[in-house]
Amino acid sequence: MYANILENNLDDFIELLKLDEISLEEAIISYLKAKEVEGKEKAFYEIVKKMYLKQEKRIPEEILSKFFKGNSEIIFDIYKNGFVEAKFPIVSENEGKIARVLVVKSKKSFTNVDVNLEKMNIIEKIVRHSLSLIFDSNFVGNSYMLAAAIAGLTSKIPKNLAFTGELDEKGYVKKNLENYSKKEEICTDNNLKLISAYDIESVYELKDFFEEEKFHVPVLIFFKNSDKEYINFSYENLQKVIAKKYSLKFLELFEKVYDIKKVYTNNKELSKIDEWQDALKESRKLLIEIISHGGIPHVSIVGPSAMAMALGIAIGVQNPIVIYHRQYHEQVDYFPVIDLTDNLRKIKNIKNTYKHLKHSIFGEGDDCSYVIYLASHNPIGTVRKFLEKNSISTKIILIEPKENKGNLDIKNWEEIVSELMSITQNNYNLENFHCENIHFFLSCPVAISFAFGMAFGDFAKGSIYHYDKENDSYLEVFRIENIRRDI
């Protein structure tokens, strides 16, 4: 009965198998009885997958022996070792598709399709183990080798990848790219990225990439429209600085495999609140995509300090990150000013004494307005006018550097952020000090704003303001308590 279904409709047979409407023993017997079946390899493939998932141990050895062509002991390797699945594109004159292979480490070599045994032996030498290769399709050629070898070397293969490439005995991918454009088209149609000799030199390089836990990724965030040539120039400079200390070996592969962007550019003028919100969401998404795949962002931000602080709040202090300050000399230079790869909490450490900053409290009111005055622009007068005009009942906490205002020593910025955080927290220990709402007015380097936002978080109600130079006033652009909620 089921043999007839297999002969007439392969997909129906496989669906019944997946739904447990056919037992494994019935499926194997049907497979052995079926005669003319186009694509019969797919049925074999699905039966083997089901064997591992069900761990069925009551199938008679005689049936297993026929199914595995006299190698019934392979079932023990499948149950014990499991398999790793990999995909590769195959093409013929008129069509192409994605094929799959299950790679099982086994005591004896086995395959369910006719492949060049010398090539299979090369794969086994690379993996240093005998293998059972279970394919779901018949094919010709040796471009499956990269897929089979990488699946024999590691189980950490992203599901969005397919592989193509013949290997030599040392594991190098041969530069034979016949039908590459067609294969790439097939992969794109199936939402897969194709890894080939264009991307790697050897299968060992690919294994190292998949098993790497940290990837250092240069990231440029421009909260303003900028010339593409200038952005590329800036990115190259940032990359050179990072490469002096960190390995960027897998950067291009990381970008392709995980489809991440390394540059964010906002093309709008940030004249409306929803434009600020959109820019925050998009820039946060870029960083989260990198972080979620094991990336460590090395970030340089160009734009308003208010946006940088909000982005810091949105990201939080949960993952390693390095923040860079950009300075102009004869060219654009980047300096790593806050490095959280060794200790995430360093910018949140609460200190009772302040080495770099001083602060003063003026006036009375239910709210607290923090004026962070570290850069050359003096915000105090404009802040006072703004608060008075909007009838905000608030104390003013003015935070300034003890020296070098407008020209802070970049060696101290981690400590400066920690001291900023400490001042905002230690004030609550003062007698009769309370804050209904907190207001932040920022005149400081963007890198410090970003790191301070990370440290401060969203625990308080309040607002972040952007200096409107044209009108010499301030705009409320973010409510602190809503930042994480709205993204």
- Does 183 fall in a domain? yes
The residue with greater pLDDT, 200 or 429, is: 200
Q: Is residue 56 packed enough to be buried (19+ CB in 10 Å), middle (13-18) or exposed (0-12)?
A: middle
Percentage of the chain beyond pLDDT 90 is 79
Domain identity same for 328 and 247: yes
Average pLDDT score over the chain: 93
Domain identity same for 52 and 87: no
How long is the chain? 487
- CB of 237 within 8 A of CB of 331? yes
Cα(283)–Cα(291) distance, integer angstroms: 13
In this predicted structure, the answer to whether residue 440 has a pLDDT above a threshold of 70 is yes
- Does 155 fall in a domain? yes
- Does 472 fall in a domain? yes
- Does 487 fall in a domain? no
Domain identity same for 194 and 303: no
In this predicted structure, the answer to whether residue 278 has a pLDDT above a threshold of 90 is yes
Q: Is residue 456 packed enough to be buried (19+ CB in 10 Å), middle (13-18) or exposed (0-12)?
A: buried
Domain identity same for 351 and 474: yes
The residue with greater pLDDT, 394 or 5, is: 394
Q: Please, which pLDDT band fits residue 329 given cuts at 50, 70 and 90?
A: low
Domain identity same for 130 and 249: no
pLDDT in tens, 6-22: 888 899 999 999 998 99
Task: Tell me the whole-structure pTM to 2 decimals.
Answer: 0.89
Cα(446)–Cα(403) distance, integer angstroms: 19
Domain identity same for 362 and 476: yes
Domain identity same for 326 and 418: no
In this predicted structure, the answer to whether residue 330 has a pLDDT above a threshold of 90 is no
- CB of 255 within 8 A of CB of 336? no
Query: Looking at residue 1, what is its pLDDT?
Result: 64
Q: Which domain holds residue 17?
A: 1-72
Secondary-structure breakdown of the chain: helix, strand, coil percentages, each rounded to the nearest 5: 40, 25, 35
Q: Please, which pLDDT band fits residue 224 given cuts at 50, 70 and 90?
A: confident
Q: Please, which pLDDT band fits residue 433 given cuts at 50, 70 and 90?
A: confident
Domain identity same for 462 and 363: yes
In this predicted structure, the answer to whether residue 126 has a pLDDT above a threshold of 70 is yes
- Does 312 fall in a domain? yes
pLDDT in tens, 345-383: 999 999 999 999 999 999 999 999 999 999 999 999 999
pLDDT in tens, 152-210: 999 999 999 999 999 999 999 998 878 899 999 999 999 999 999 999 999 999 999 99
Percentage of the chain beyond pLDDT 70 is 99
Listed residues 72, 95, 128: the one ending a domain = 72
Query: Looking at residue 3, what is its pLDDT?
Result: 77
Q: Please, which pLDDT band fits residue 68 given cuts at 50, 70 and 90?
A: very high
Give the residues across from 336 on adjacent strands: 324
Domain identity same for 260 and 352: no
Listed residues 72, 90, 107: the one ending a domain = 72
Domain identity same for 271 and 327: yes
Query: Looking at residue 327, what is its pLDDT?
Result: 83
Give the total number of structural domains in the chain.
Answer: 4
Query: Looking at residue 205, what is its pLDDT?
Result: 97
CATH number of domain containing 111: 3.30.230.10
What DSSP state is assigned to residue 272?
Answer: S
Listed residues 315, 339, 363: the one ending a domain = 339
Domain identity same for 207 and 88: yes
Domain identity same for 192 and 222: no
Give the residues across from 264 on adjacent strands: 221
In this predicted structure, the answer to whether residue 431 has a pLDDT above a threshold of 80 is no
DSSP 279-322: HHHHHHHHHHHHHHTTEEEEEEEES-HHHHHHHHHHH-SSS--E
Distance linking the first and last C-alpha atoms of the chain: 56
Query: Looking at residue 66, what is its pLDDT?
Result: 92
User: Among candidates 294, 289, 292, which has minimal Cα distance to 341?
Assistant: 294
Q: Please, which pLDDT band fits residue 429 given cuts at 50, 70 and 90?
A: confident
Cα(117)–Cα(111) distance, integer angstroms: 10
- Does 435 fall in a domain? yes
